[in-house]
Amino acid sequence: MRIAAAALTLAILAAIDSAPRPARERLEKLEARVRAAIKAGDQQTRIAADKELLTLLNGSPQAVEALARAYAAAGDKPNAIAALNRFANLGLSDDGLFNATGGSFSSLESLPEYKQVLDRFRANRKPVSLGVTSITLSDPGLLAEDIDYDPSARAFLVTSVLQHKIVRATLEGKVTDFATSPDRWPMLAVKIDVPHGRVWAAEVALDGFTTAPKDAWGRSAVLCFDLKSGKLLQRIEGPAHSALGDMVLDKDGEPIVSDGQGGRLYRVSNGALRPIDTMEFISPQTPVLAPSGDAILVPDYMRGIARLDLLTSKVSWFDGSSAALIGVDGLYLHGRSLILTQNGTSPQRILLLELDPSLTSIISSKVIEQGTPTTDPTHGVFVGDDFFYIANSGWNLLDDHGEVKPGSHLAPAIIMRYSLK
């Protein structure tokens, strides 16, 4: 579930509820230290706090750039340039620097090394498109969010944010309605449990969205439908002020649900939501189940990617120093290939990581899609060796109230395919 169109700013924190969370508390305290140091002109304290932020956020590019700004403010040009190069090494860009003058990096603007960094940022924006269009959903008003595949029907199920429903789309492009949100709220996550003939989904009355009733804002629920008929079998209300927008099914076909707003994960058990006992997440998104079935890989929009042991609730984080792992909406695993849909990065992209045999560290990375007119990804699904993904969701065309921005027009959603072969 996307948190914000220009994600990974302090505005994200304002969308997170006020309940105490250790990771969030640490982040807030460090941010407060940075602000106080800036106000006092204490650059060494600012640098120290930004280094702690870098550790907390597991090498986040935004934390790297914040440290570069701190070094520049302290007059430490070599370390500022080194930090900006570290940012560029992660394959991302900061579009705001190209035409900016007199800002945080004004002391560097005359340096050839700074101009070289800007050239690297421009190169990182180069369009890449290795996927091919597979299906076009003709209705532009859907705003497609999540997708899963039903091999028994040889068709995809796709959720619609604006039309509050799930549609079935065949590989030939035929689209029919499958089920509707019982409360007429935006539909976000969808996962198919073929062995048990069930479809699990999530409806979320996104706070501020005019497409949901105002008195429902901040509510969300997990839904269960019959796979064949689309009949609603069960509805489980989420905690107050939650956004249960993403999920994965465990080895028994039961949902593990992410609350991207409250920073928690829940398991569905005996018709109830039971919190997983960890408070390490700030904004967890769509996880993926490890082959062993006893762990999931969880993308946190701000902290990167973690491995969560389902038996012990122990959390360990991937090293984000070699690849940008933030702004991830969903994870998808096939063998040792891990695909990330990143709509909180600049540029937005689809990234392929090759992992080591233990699935705990990154061997290599490769961009599948970025910087094209259609690149605004949300979620995807593996079908055999092929990865199908929603390439142009249309979230970037909506304002904070879920209304199409003036002068913008939603386009039919495109489902693209990338083959690991």
pLDDT at 282: 94
Taking the C-alpha atoms of residue 187 and residue 81, their distance in angstroms, rounded to an integer, is 44
Report the length, in residues, of the chain.
421
pLDDT at 220: 97
310 contacts 325 by C-beta, under 8 angstroms: no
Closest CA to 226 of 204, 193, 274: 193
68, two tokens: 């570069």
> SS3 helix, strand, coil % of the chain, rounded to 5?
20, 35, 45
The mean pLDDT value for 382-399 works out to 95
pLDDT > 70? residue 217: yes
Give tens-digit pLDDT for 56-110. Answer: 999 999 999 999 999 999 999 999 999 999 999 999 998 778 666 667 899 999 9
Closest CA to 288 of 170, 413, 188, 380: 380
pLDDT at 79: 98
Return the minimum-mean-pLDDT range out of 1-5, 136-140, 264-268, 303-307. Answer: 1-5
Give tens-digit pLDDT for 108-127. Answer: 999 999 999 999 999 999 99
The mean pLDDT value for 253-257 works out to 97
Helix or strand holding residue 43 (H, E): helix 43-56
pLDDT at 21: 57
pLDDT at 11: 36
CA angle, 333 then 201 then 343, to 5°: 50
CA end-to-end distance (rounded Å), the chain: 29
258 contacts 298 by C-beta, under 8 angstroms: yes
180 contacts 229 by C-beta, under 8 angstroms: no
Average pLDDT, the chain: 92
Contacts of 374 (CB under 8 A, 6+ apart): 391, 392, 414, 416
pLDDT at 6: 36
Percent of the chain with pLDDT over 90: 86
Dihedral sign for Cα atoms in the order 237, 330, 143, 170:
negative
The structure tokens 């560290």 sit at: 361
pTM, rounded to two decimals: 0.92
Question: In this predicted model, which residue has the larger pLDDT, 345 or 12?
Answer: 345
pLDDT at 115: 95
pLDDT > 50? residue 5: no
Q: How confident is the model at residue 250 (pLDDT cuts 50, 70, 90)?
A: very high
pLDDT > 50? residue 14: no
pLDDT at 2: 61
The SS3 assignment for 30 reads: helix
pLDDT at 3: 52
Give tens-digit pLDDT for 26-65. Answer: 999 999 999 999 999 999 999 999 999 999 999 999 999 9
Q: How confident is the model at residue 24 (pLDDT cuts 50, 70, 90)?
A: confident
The mean pLDDT value for 394-402 works out to 92
Give the type of residue at 171: L
Asked if the peptide bond before residue 347 counts as cis, ω within 30 degrees of 0, the response is yes
The mean pLDDT value for 149-157 works out to 96
303 contacts 313 by C-beta, under 8 angstroms: no
The structure tokens 């439908």 sit at: 225
Give tens-digit pLDDT for 355-380. Answer: 999 999 999 999 999 999 888 999 99
Return the minimum-mean-pLDDT range out of 6-20, 35-49, 278-292, 293-307. Answer: 6-20
pLDDT > 90? residue 280: yes
With the CA atoms of 28, 56, 284 and 32 taken in that order, what torsion angle do they form, in degrees rounded to the nearest 10? 10
Taking the C-alpha atoms of residue 221 and residue 224, their distance in angstroms, rounded to an integer, is 10
**Rama region for 253: left / alpha / beta (φ>0; ψ in -120 to 50; rest):** left
226 contacts 217 by C-beta, under 8 angstroms: no
Q: Cα dist. 242→202, 203, 249, 258, 336 in Å?
A: 12, 11, 19, 9, 33
Closest CA to 300 of 65, 8, 94, 22: 8
